[in-house]
A and B are shown apart, each in its own frame.
Chain A
Amino acid sequence: MRSFKLDWLILPLLGILLVLGGWQAVSGRKAARKDAEGKVVSEERVGLIPALPSVVETWQASRIYILEPFAKRGEMDQGIARFTWYSLLLVAKGYGLALLIGTPIGFLLGLSKVFTKTFDPIIQILRPVSPLAWLPLGLVLFLDAGKEAGTLGALFTIAICSMWPTVLNTAVGVRAIPQDYLNVARVLKLSRTKTLFKVLIPATLPYMFTGFRLSLGIAWLVIVAAEMLTGRPGVGGFLWQEYNALVYEHIILSIITIGLVGFILDRLMSLIEARFKSI
């Protein structure tokens, strides 16, 4: 029990405290320069990294966003939960698109050697392309959509960047189906559709969900870049706006939010994945 608490509570807390301490140590603070009479002449920031806001400054500047998470004061001035919600909505759409396109491609790759030989090279080439490279193309593709161009471009970017783990894991899963299951289908003379739904898909589900989890991680990674470049309201858009507005505390707030949300999403997907792995 003691070691359980140590592993799950004390050590992680210690880690967080150490990082906060290090952050505080290197961050800058305000120092006033005074003249002989004690009047403040000018204010400047001193410290190892003068521009880096300290822990306390970050908290003070961010508390209104955290304590009123659903507030809406303006288009780009909303509670952090509201921004997160916008980002999640966009991610959900792009991610859904990625799964809809990626899963069938994965099945084709797993089932057909010819398909693999034809398309594997192009997939390997497209896979490492950064979201920052896709986004401009996305915006160009949907130029005619007018006001929606940003959203559609972002969706395109999320989908095309996040679908690869789903594609590849599904393909691996299909190839890993034991010959015995396929033999059962053959002996029973199951039709192609029945074989797909009664044997291939259930047998591949654990692999598919590993792909889905990795894809979700990437989709969340991409959202920030997409929002930054399109200026949509959301965590990433907020981050970029506050950088331009020189409110560096809010950059840190956004980073922490993005990290936490990404972590929670990954945990949730792991839970679902574990359910399918247990069969």
Chain B
Amino acid sequence: MSLLELSKVSKAFNGSPVLCDVDLCIARGEFVAIVGFSGAGKTTLISLIAGLLRPDSGEVRLEGRPVTGPGPDRGIVFQNYSLLPWLTVYENIALAVDQVNPAWDATRRREQVERHIAMVNLTPARDKKPSELSGGMRQRVSVARALAMDPQILLLDEPLGALDALTRATLQDEISRIREETHKTVVLITNDPDEGIYLADRIIPLTAGPGATLGPSFTIDIPRPRNRKEINHDPHFKQLRRDVTEFLLASRHRPHATVTRKLVLPDIEPEDLNLPRSPQGGRRLPRRSHEIREEKVEIE
């Protein structure tokens, strides 16, 4: 039985559809990447899974039970850094641990926090405030906080979207390593097909909105551990990347929006000085052109 199941999930905001009939099954222990354009509805999708939003129709089920609200069994790393800025790294994670495990004694809770800070290599920064950390470090804290709740499933909403390429690569490897260590079920939202293919077991494109839905699921049969350099020459990787990208581009079914703008040219044409001057006017005189031309501008 699948751990997470979405059936015919639809969501609209103020009457405009964002997601239409989304079906998704994720087995326990799977790492699934969902890739789509920005604005397609990726955050909406993950919020539905997290229970922060309720679907208009359809159902989200976790372990067969309908999801009715958010809960610590679905650890979520938000797209924006959502650490509480007045708490230190330790306190941010401790807030989650203390809340989720009220029955544990203080030592056990402290160990849980420390262990997860160490897991993301932030022990030296444990007493720093989020404002003193780089973007990459903040997202590591977010990941640690989500994992410290010991969730059934880890939801990552474009966790690396705001990071520079180098930090991004480092954190990708870190996510990969943590996943190997914890065997968590992971849903990774990304706008970068390469990232999804590099990290996940399966990659599913989300069509362009409005009314987006999930496309076919592409299984990634690249053995682990994967090597960032070698993977670029892997024919399977190249094929997947091409397929996913093509699917995404093709899903932008709408023609480009165009505006038609009238260009009014000056109502006069230059004198042709090569022609002989004639007293009747003729060719030499400036002519009214009465000409209005149109120009089409494509808007990306």
**Chain B residue contacts of A188, Cβ below 8 A:** 72, 95-96, 99-100, 149
A181 lies within 8 A of chain B by Cβ? yes
A198 to chain B: which residues have CB within 8 Å?
Answer: 84, 95
Within 8 Å CB of A194, what residues of B? 99
Residue of A nearest to B130 (CB): A279
Taking a contact as CB atoms under 8 Å apart, the answer to whether B70 and A279 are in contact is: no
Within 8 Å of chain A (Cβ to Cβ): is B116? no
The size of the chain A interface, using a CB distance under 8 A, is 17
Residues of chain B from 74 to 118 with CB closer than 8 A to chain A in the complex: 74-76, 78, 80-82, 84-86, 95-96, 99-100
The residues of A that contact B99 with a CB separation of less than 8 Å are 188-190, 194
Distance in Å from the Cβ of A198 to the closest Cβ of chain B? 7
Give the CA-CA distance A78 to B203 in the complex, in Å. Answer: 82
Q: Which of B74, B81, B84 contacts A187 (CB 8 A)?
A: B74
Contact A187 B131 (CB under 8 A): no
Q: Collect the chain A residues with CB atoms within 8 Å of residue B129's CB.
A: 279
Contact B82 A181 (CB under 8 A): yes
Given contacts A180-B78, A183-B52, A188-B100, contact A202 B71 (CB under 8 A): no
B80 touches A187 (CB 8 A): no
Given A181-B84, A279-B129, A279-B131, verify A187-B95 contact (CB < 8 Å).
no
Whether a CB of chain B sits under 8 angstroms from the CB of A267 is no
Known contacts A180-B80, A279-B129, A279-B131: A187-B86 contact under CB 8 Å: no
Answer whether residue A199 sits at the interface, using C-beta atoms and an 8 A cutoff: yes
Q: Within 8 Å of chain A (Cβ to Cβ): is B143?
A: no
Known: A188-B96, A189-B71. A180 touches B82 (CB 8 A): yes
Complex interface bits, A71-95 against B, C-beta within 8 A gives 1, otherwise 0: 0000000000000000000000000
Given that A187-B70, A279-B131 are contacting pairs, would A199 and B82 also be in contact in the complex, using a CB cutoff of 8 Å? no
Give the nearest-CB partner of B91 in chain A.
A198
Q: A183-B52, A187-B50, A189-B70 are in contact. Are A279 and B80 (CB under 8 A)?
A: no
Q: What chain A residues lie within 8 Å of B81 (beta carbons)? A: 180
0/1 interface trace, chain A 25-60, chain B, CB 8 Å (1 if under)? 000000000000000000000000000000000000
Contacts of B95 in A (CB 8 A): 188, 198
A202 touches B86 (CB 8 A): yes
B47 nearest in chain A by CB position? A183
Does B72 contact A199, Cβ atoms closer than 8 Å? Answer: no
Which A residues form the contact surface with B (CB < 8 A)?
A: 178, 180-181, 183-184, 186-190, 194, 198-199, 202-203, 205, 279
23 interchain pairs, CB-CB under 8 A: A178-B82, A180-B80, A180-B81, A183-B78, A184-B78, A184-B82, A186-B52, A186-B69, A187-B52, A187-B70, A187-B71, A187-B72, A187-B75, A188-B72, A188-B100, A189-B71, A190-B99, A198-B84, A202-B86, A205-B86, A279-B86, A279-B129, A279-B131
Nearest first, the 3 closest Cβ-Cβ pairs linking A and B are A180-B82, A202-B86, A186-B70
